[in-house]
Amino acid sequence: MRLGKVLVVFGTRPEAIKMAPVINELRKVKDIETVVAVTAQHREMLDQVLDLFDIKPDHDLNLMKKEQDLFSITEGVLEGIRPIIEEEKPDLVLVHGDTTTTFAAALAAFYCKIPVGHVEAGLRTRNKYSPFPEEMNRSLTGKLAELHFAPTDTSRENLLAEATAMFKIWVTGNTVIDALLQTVKPDYQFGPEFAGIDFSKRLLLVTTHRRENWGNPMREIYRALIDLTDRFPDTEVIFPVHKNPIVRDTAFEMLGNRQRIHLLEPLDYEPFTQLINASYLVLTDSGGMQEEAPSLGKPVLVLRDTTERPEALQAGTVKLVGAVYQKIMDEASLLLSDSSEYEKMARAINPYGDGKAARRIAKVITDFLYVRIGTTNF
Ligand code: UD1
Ligand code: UDP
């Protein structure tokens, strides 16, 4: 019996990593037709993930522009997804997380009166401007969604506090753990492109891209990286630099041509996850890395003032240090010089899932489509 059609929409690297396991699970359900549309809000960084997980999009809006802003992405996604929804006539539109693709695709589905499923729902800082625009993208998508796939009990509580109906929320775990477990290999050999890195040193793995950190905050972070490598000669910084020119210009200007600071191109997910595994400490403003690194037992200093992922913070394996030079220096120096402080943070914890989140999501969607065959008022 044909249950229906699911249109999966995403556009950036993290959405692709976290949606890939869901697409693969949905494709195992033969009575569901799964159609994939990418907005390509990111291009190279998205394509790396599509290749790894062998996902060939049915629709590609190819939206990315060199200096895109929030208005142009929102407009492009809204206008671009409309004809795809009209042509495909899906029974459900599935979106992920908190990007502008997420919100605009959910809004397009709402305008077409198609129900929305939201993967990684319910994360909140309750600060409208931090992270910006992600906090509002995620909250507004939550208002539009019918099915809320919350990764943890905390995110479920956040949704309940906003009067989301209990029967529309499922705690599934985060699909990032599914992707991670499918990708990390204990016997992985790094290729020749990593030849310049001295793996006998303690590796500090760094990523930055958040809008709140553009400009001076990013300079503070990079100044701290310079002084940390000077203070601790047995360390090397590995920094795959985001494709955003705003990030790249500052990173290459301040950190280029330094012996123990390696600026790399964005890495494929497979080697990148092995690098998390090989690192001593992670410094990042990324959302996804706050989930991945703790599950591999790596301490994380979060280069932000707020986080919508409090679980690892409460467990003590991540710390918020902001983008403040002195705070980064103090906390990183402590972890690099005091082994008992390091050991306290370096524990593998997994509040974000057991690697079966995608399977649970596919099951809920199957049930949802089954019920809809009998009623239009789910
Ligand atoms: C976006 C999301 C953010 C998410 C992040 C993950 C929004 C508003 N922001 O931020 O929530 O955490 O992705 O990385 O949705 N670029 C390339 N090639 C790529 C990717 C980006 O050249 O493959 C450059 C382009 O010049 C683009 C710029 O990066 O204009 C910024 O990309 P954009 O998606 O607007 O913002 P991000 O900072 O990546
Ligand atoms: N990542 C990657 N290659 C890199 C850097 C990061 O594959 O060079 C992965 C990382 O493991 C995580 C995701 O990209 O799963 C995080 O993406 P990003 O930091 O851009 O976005 P956020 O998680 O903050 O939304």
- Domain spans in the chain, listed from the N-terminal domain onward: 4-174+354-372, 192-346
209 in catalytic set: yes
59 is catalytic: no
pLDDT of 375? 55
Of 138, 9, 149, nearest in space to 81 by CA:
9
d(CA 338, CA 356) in angstroms, rounded, equals 36
Burial class (CB in 10 A: 0-12, 13-18, 19+), 275: buried
The model scores a pTM over 0.85: yes
pLDDT at 378: 44
Q: What is the pLDDT of residue 281?
A: 98
For residue 287, the CA-to-ligand 2 centroid distance in Å is 8
Classify 151 as helix, strand or coil. coil
pLDDT along the chain (378 residues), means of 10: 95 98 97 98 98 97 96 98 98 98 98 98 97 98 98 98 98 98 92 93 98 98 98 98 98 96 98 97 98 97 97 96 98 98 94 97 97 63
Q: How far is the CA of 340 from the centre of ligand 1 (A)?
A: 38
Instruction: Judge whether 4-174+354-372 and 192-346 match in fold.
Output: yes
CATH number of 4-174+354-372: 3.40.50.2000
For domain 192-346, is the CATH number 3.40.50.2000?
yes
Does ligand 2 have an atom closer than 6 angstroms to the CB of 240?
yes
- CA 304, 309, 342, 17 torsion-angle sign: negative
Look at residue 30 in the predicted model and tell me its pLDDT.
Answer: 93
- Is 211 catalytic? The answer is yes
Q: Report the pLDDT value the prediction gives residue 374, as an integer from 0 to 100.
A: 66
Residue 347 Cα to ligand 1 middle (Å): 31
The HSE-up count of residue 366 (CA atoms within 13 Å, CB side) is 17
CB atoms within 10 A of CB 5: 15
